[in-house]
A and B are shown apart, each in its own frame.
Chain A
Amino acid sequence: MSERTAGWVLKGTALAAILGCVLSSRSTASFPAQANPKEEFLRVSGDIGRPGGRIVIALRSEPKTLNPLISPDATSREVISTMQADLVHINRATQLTEPALAKSWKVSTDGLQYTLTLRQGLKFSDGQPVDVEDVLFTFRVYLDEAVHATQRDLLIVDGKPIVVRKVDAQTVTVALAKPYGVGERLFDGLAILPRHLLETAYKEGKLAQAGGLGTAPNQWAGLGPFRLKEYVAGQRLVLERNPYYWKTDERGNRLPYLDEIVFLFVPSADAQVVRFQSGETDIISRLGAENFSVLSRQAGNYRMVDAGPGLEYNFLFFNLNELGEKAPAEMARKQNWFRSEKFRQAVSLAIDREAIVRLVYQGRGAALWGPVTPGNPRWVNAAIAHPARSLDKSRQLLAEVGFKLTSGESGEPRLVDADGKSVEFSIVTSASNADRAKMATLIQDDLKQLGMRVQVVPLELRSLIDRVMQTKEYDACVLGIASYDADPNPELNVWLSSGGMHLWNPSEKRPATDWEAEIDRLMEQQLTATNVAQRKKFYDRVQEILAERQPMIFLASPDILVGAKKSIGNFHPAVLEPYVLWNVEQLYQRNGAENARR
């Protein structure tokens, strides 16, 4: 079932990619016949739905904020994505850009200037019209250093911020200092903000505090399909249909179909499964493989979908920080091992990735040898070798760098380094993530066979992050990163040696090694390369270096596992965030009777 679904999704993606191009060029010029001629709608394809009804979805935690400027966590992002809209949007299914608030855009021949034309008749969810001033205000805010917008870094090209200018009431130009590899993808995720509501807060320097969950519904507006209705602390967040939304279905009906979305706050994954099973919630996402099989096994009134590998990659990395004088001697000794490339390669060769996929993800995942997952076919470097697990080769590599295999007190193998010290270290992992804890336990057993004594230390996530980023008191760590876009750019701060998420050695002043310097160069080059093929060439080389030097030992990527009641129409999960809500405006309730009862 899983293979069939994945195949369907892949084929669907290819087909939709072609369709997407055709549609996007056509939709920019299309005017729905029956609508107000002043309003330029975006017509989207899909099943024609039934208006009305609501869906209930559980969230793992309360969103921290509704403010798109400072959305720090996945939950906030998910909620905000249903309330805001951007100029150009990346279609989560096709992974290609399509027009959104901007009905069309042009790139100058030198690649330095974008001209974007806004749709006519756009209105915020409170009914206020949108004009170019709102767009200018939005970019001013994103670029203002005092605001600390999370998206700011992406708007700085070659050290210089982009410049946005008004041309006429519907048109703006965006000037870049250098050609930008991402192209119009730049505009995805930049929510256009309501100037009439936020300007005062911005002038007072309080913009970051705006958009808290307690905001009164009439004090908050966006251009997304839904708007704020009610928030009950600790229980739920209710959004209602935005009556001014700018998309229609193929028959010209204004979207969204649903009247309401209810987000329930259900803190544990297992409790979410129980609520879904009992029919309390309509859609479940971010499922673990084990809960997915529980739900699949017990046939119910719902459909479970394995959307294939997502973008999350899990990895093991060692502490390669420059600890300087303050480091204890023991740590320095361990770092001598960790810094040896052959040691890291030996560890990588000894890890049974196939077992990780099978035991941790019940086969619903993919083994990884690089950071780009099979869920991202456009960017993955297919030439990267997938060496099979080999303890012999691993032992050989260790012997080459002076490690010796002896036997311990009761005859078990014991690896000692050139100084005769036995190889022992600990792997920290997040206690709240059962999958990663399991991976660490499997790795522990794999490395035992090389004679390494490994302890697995589950830590509360916050203290884990603190150890890795701040105090740097750890030996090795198993973590995962889930990018929100297939493009390499959101990963910049992972791969650049100066990046804060350069986990094995964060925020280096200058690259610690030659190959890190080379990665820095390549990432900068791909950033300004003008065409995708060139960018891909640079990023392929980055993947190659990572596979060779193994600063991170890539383990596995889980499939995106979701489910929905059979009554939900247009349910087409994607492998990009938000997995199930990316087409929330098109979701609808098929069964009117059942819905009316609730």
Chain B
Amino acid sequence: MKSPSRLVVCIAVLGALHLGVACAGFFAPYDPAAQDRAHPYAPPMRPHFVDAQGSFHLLPFFYAQELRAGSFDQYEENRARAIPVQFFVTGASYHVLGVLPLRMHLFGGGDAPLYLLGSDEYGRDLLSRISVGGQVSLLAGLIGAGLTLSIGLCIGTVAGFLGGWKDEVLMRIAELFLALPWIYLLFAMRAFLPLTVPPLKAFLLVVMVIAAVGWARPARMVRGIVLSARERDFVRAARGFGASNGYLLRRHILPETASVVLTQAAILVPQFVVAEMTLSFLGLGVPEPVPSWGNMLASLQHYNVLVSYWWMYLPAVAMVPFFLGYLVLASLLQGGDRTSKMDEALGEI
């Protein structure tokens, strides 16, 4: 009784997180590509509640940051210039869910730049980049996992259900794919793409490649379950009553694989997010100025960034709730008596 409610909480939290990222343009105060060249590597602004006159503000306000004279990355607060937080301001245009154009942002600093999480080497707002960058990274995870699972499910089912030499051939191919060093395959793929492919298209192609390479593991798991389900008494009985292969698969065998597929999905999504991040980290993912968590973290490859600007680690922090959510989901789906729990979970949803 307890577990399903935890499952619901987990799914609700994940859903909220995803919805937030889908509407990133609204929560992000700025265009993620907009450069503010007067404020490179600005640290996160500190919220203040008590102003210079000593009066208390319920809503926090900020002081403008200005470069220290003669320095290129050292800032000090200008106490003479307070920035109140304004809500529902009009700013850079963006698209909600990729379709609905809007200009309204949850908050902003008016004329003065407001960098809650600091800025990067071009003076781009990190909060905006992290939230919009999440769209790319998570989309890669979801599309990649979806594709991989569909391929894996088809191949695993065919292999497990038909058996014989077909099974042998398919499983040997799967082993081949397991042994392939996919990162080199991706390097090769990326090198073949022409220069002029728009960044997002190139990126989707790459995601498809990861998916096409990653099907082997889910396929083997599905095959195992199909293989055992095929020999169950009720399946044999159904076959005895003259059920067709299609009916058997649809009605008796595929439902058996549901728990494995769902668990795999919960494991694969973060895995593919990591794959995207790895590629972008190596400069093979989405190019500048489109943000993704991976290409944001790529700046940490430079020693000076690593030791000087701690806020550049924040994209790594941003992915923690997502990964945690997916992993908790996976363990909830996997734990205990699978079928009954799955039924309950599905029933509650």
A residues contacting B by CB (< 8 A) are 269-270, 273-274, 288, 290-291, 293-294, 297, 352, 355, 358-359, 362-363, 410-411, 426, 428, 431, 434, 437-438, 441-442, 444-445, 455-458, 463, 473-475
Contact = CB atoms under 8 A, between A and B. Distances in A.
Contact of A270 (B72, B195, B287, B303): B303
B304 A445 contact: no
Nearest to A274: B303
Contact of B303 (A294, A352, A411, A444): A294
Contact of B195 (A269, A426, A437, A441): A426
Interface of B: 33, 35, 37, 40, 72-73, 93, 95, 101, 121-123, 191, 195-196, 198-199, 283, 287-289, 301-305, 307-308
Given A294-B307, A458-B283, A441 B122 contact: yes
A456 B37 contact: no
Contacts of A297: 308
Nearest to A434: B302
B201 to A, nearest CB: 12
A359 B37 contact: yes
A278 B218 CA distance: 48
11 contacts: A294-B303, A355-B37, A358-B40, A359-B37, A362-B73, A363-B72, A442-B122, A445-B122, A455-B195, A457-B287, A474-B195
A456 B303 contact: no
Interface SS, A side: helix
A458 B122 contact: no
Given A293-B72, A458-B283, A463-B191, A442 B35 contact: yes
A437 B289 CA distance: 12
Contacts of B35: 442, 445
A473 B196 CA distance: 10
* Interface of B, helix, strand, loop or mixed by DSSP: loop
A453 to B, nearest CB: 10
B304 A293 contact: yes
Contacts of A444: 288-289
A98 B123 CA distance: 48
Contacts of B289: 441, 444-445
A445 B307 contact: no
Contacts of A270: 301-304
A88 B62 CA distance: 64
Contacts of A473: 195
Contacts of B40: 358-359
Contacts of B72: 293, 358, 362-363
Contacts of A457: 195, 287
The 6 closest A-B pairs by CB, nearest first: A270-B303, A290-B304, A362-B72, A294-B304, A355-B37, A441-B288
A290 B121 CA distance: 11
B147 to A, nearest CB: 26
B343 to A, nearest CB: 47
B195 A428 contact: yes
B304 A291 contact: yes
Nearest to A291: B304
A456 B122 contact: no
Contacts of B195: 426, 428, 455, 457, 473-475
Contacts of A455: 195-196, 198-199, 287
B121 A456 contact: no
Nearest to B194: A473
Contacts of A456: 287-288
A434 B95 CA distance: 31
Given A359-B37, A456-B288, A474-B195, 17 more contacts: A270-B302, A291-B303, A352-B37, A355-B37, A358-B40, A359-B122, A362-B73, A410-B101, A434-B302, A441-B288, A441-B289, A442-B122, A445-B122, A445-B289, A455-B199, A457-B195, A458-B287
Nearest to A463: B191
A290 to B, nearest CB: 4
Nearest to A446: B35
B93 to A, nearest CB: 5
Nearest to A288: B304
Contacts of B302: 270, 290, 434
